[in-house]
Amino acid sequence: MKFFLDTASLKDISWAAQAGLIDGITTNPSLLSKQAGDLDPRDVLKEICSLVEGPVSAEVVAVDADAMVREGQSLAKIADNIVVKIPMLEDGMIAVRRLATEGIRTNVTLCFSSVQCLIAAKAGASYVSPFIGRLDDVGQEGMDVIREARVIFDNYSIETEILAASIRHPRHVVEAAMIGADVATLPPDVLKKLLLHPLTDRGLDQFLADWNKLVARAKAAV
């Protein structure tokens, strides 16, 4: 399973890239507005694209097809690894098709049902992003969308990748991996939580304490 980092934070991306833990990045207007401050968001995206080799999703803010295509074409010029994020809208599907015919990869975002994922795939999306956590937040079982989309895509050998988004905790990652999502995009705090287990900390404390006892005994014997 591929891991993307769901952030525009250069510090977090830098750490995860150096550790070889991430295969790509997803951003959205909210994440970019948090990171960019006074900077031009295009410069932030350019910097992100230089930090990772894999796909970097950059979202359009237009909502009509022509404007989405223009914005997508412009975003795609920032770097070769840009993937244009398009919202799940009627016009969005036209934009996805037109960008696909130009060889520009797209990630259809704000998907909340498996049939939306199927529609986006038919339009020619490279990725579809079902939002798990936001469905859980309103009392639905977000993971069901991933489960259904996996079966549908496998039934018809659809190559569009299922990107589990709006991930809130490590259990989401485990479940998405067991179902067979192609990618999970993780907020940095969730990625860091994947490394943790209390028994790891306890075990390391014990090893170091025992080692220090040995060193102290050796010193005392001199």
Does residue number 6 form part of the binding site for ligand E4P (CB under 6 A)? yes
Does residue number 114 form part of the binding site for ligand E4P (CB under 6 A)? no
Does residue number 129 form part of the binding site for ligand E4P (CB under 6 A)? yes
Does residue number 112 form part of the binding site for ligand E4P (CB under 6 A)? no
Q: Which is nearer to ligand E4P, 107 or 114 (CB)?
A: 107
Taking CB under 6 A as the criterion, the residue among 5, 12, 25, 28 binding ligand E4P is 28
- Contacts (Cβ under 8 Å, ≥6 apart) of 10: 35, 44, 47, 48, 51
Q: Supply the minimum distance, in Å, between the C-beta of residue 29 and ligand E4P.
A: 9
Helix (H, G, I), strand (E, B) or coil at 65: helix
Residue 85 appears among annotated catalytic residues = yes
Does residue number 133 form part of the binding site for ligand E4P (CB under 6 A)? yes
**Of the ranges 72-80, 112-120, 127-135, 150-158, which one interacts with ligand E4P (CB under 6 A)?**
127-135
- With tokens 């250069």, the residue in question is 10
Taking CB under 6 A as the criterion, the residue among 165, 179, 183, 190 binding ligand E4P is 165
The one-letter amino acid code at 85 reads K
Pair 195, 162: CB distance under 8 Å: no
Give the interface with ligand E4P as residue ranges (CB under 6 A): 6, 26, 28, 109, 129, 131, 133-134, 165-166, 185
Residues recognised as catalytic: 85
